[in-house]
Amino acid sequence: MTTVDLPRGRILHLDTPVIMGILNVTPDSFSDGGRYYQTDSAVIKAQALLADGATILDIGGESTRPGAPDVSLEDELARVIPAIEAIRAHSDSAVNECIISIDTSKSEVMRQAILAGADIINDVRALQEANALATVAQFPDVAVCLMHMQGQPRTMQSDPQYDDLFDDINLFFTQRIKACETAGIQRQRLILDPGFGFGKTLSHNFQILARFNEFNHFGLPVLAGLSRKSMLGNLLNRQTNERLAGSLAGALIAAQNGAKIIRVHDVKETADVLGVWQACEQGIKK
């Protein structure tokens, strides 16, 4: 059984894949921007995600879609901290005791989010921004998801190229794991994410999905986040709100190839797909 110890005695069990439900408190996210911008709406959405089968809530206050504008520290804090505090303070024990991830690259947002109740730092820049490593190292129980991205959100999709896609991503993970350990962040606190859509062509994305199990050699949990992304829209010629079937197919393929965390918008449907697959797996093992 794979487990990750988290703050305040919470434990993330990863013997079977778990669902990370996306909760964007931004006005401009590519899929649901503005819908959960107000704190009350965010709490209601959090309850729904948990009821539908999410184990982790991933709260983000800055869109990282291609071409997205930067968000100031003050604006990001104003979006995410009240949401985290409200979710933690809610009287429903399931909400209060849920696992919360903060999707950010700013060290001060990380610090304040952890103090407000976050358990996981989910950083698309893999703790490469100023003071990020040192900040996370101060909180020994917090887990960290290190995502691979070529370039920066504004320009990452302009012309992504690799000498060898898998060698390059694996080298990046090796370097970031070492940087974390050098800073005092224990290896067992780390989660890896190859970064679907972050500096990847359509071909790159589907190569990663097909060979997702090649990232398992690090012995760390690997996260798959391809829900509703343009890799599905471009392949299937589907608008954002028409990508459910493609997202579910991607989630299942990733889980079958060793993904331990599946980051999605459509939690209930993903839980159903994973439930059927896991029932088959258990039946075969028996």
Bridge partner list, 10: none
Q: 263, 268, 285, 286: which is the annotated catalytic residue? A: 263
CB of 219 within 8 A of CB of 228? no
Place of tokens 């358990």: 119
Active site residue 187: no
What is the rounded end-to-end Cα distance, in angstroms, of the chain? 18
- Angle among Cα 5, 88, 255 to the nearest 5 degrees reads 50
C-alpha dihedral (174, 176, 178, 181), degrees to nearest 10 = -140
Q: How far apart are CA 116 and CA 137, in angstroms?
A: 17
Query: Looking up tokens 């989910």, which residue turns up?
Result: 122
Enumerate residues 6+ apart whose C-beta is below 8 A from 219.
none
Task: Please say whether the beta carbons of 57 and 50 come within 8 A.
Answer: yes
- For 230, phi and psi rounded to 5 degrees? -65, -25
13 residue type, one letter: H
Measured CA angle at 109 (ends 105, 111), to 5 deg:
110
Catalytic residue selected from 45, 79, 229, 243: 229
Give yes or no: 229 in active site: yes
- In 3-state terms, what secondary structure has residue 250? helix
Q: Does residue 20 contact residue 267 with C-beta atoms inside 8 Å?
A: no
Instruction: Say if residues 72 and 160 touch (Cβ distance below 8 Å).
Output: no
Distance CA 228, CA 197 (A): 11
**Which residues are tagged catalytic?**
229, 263
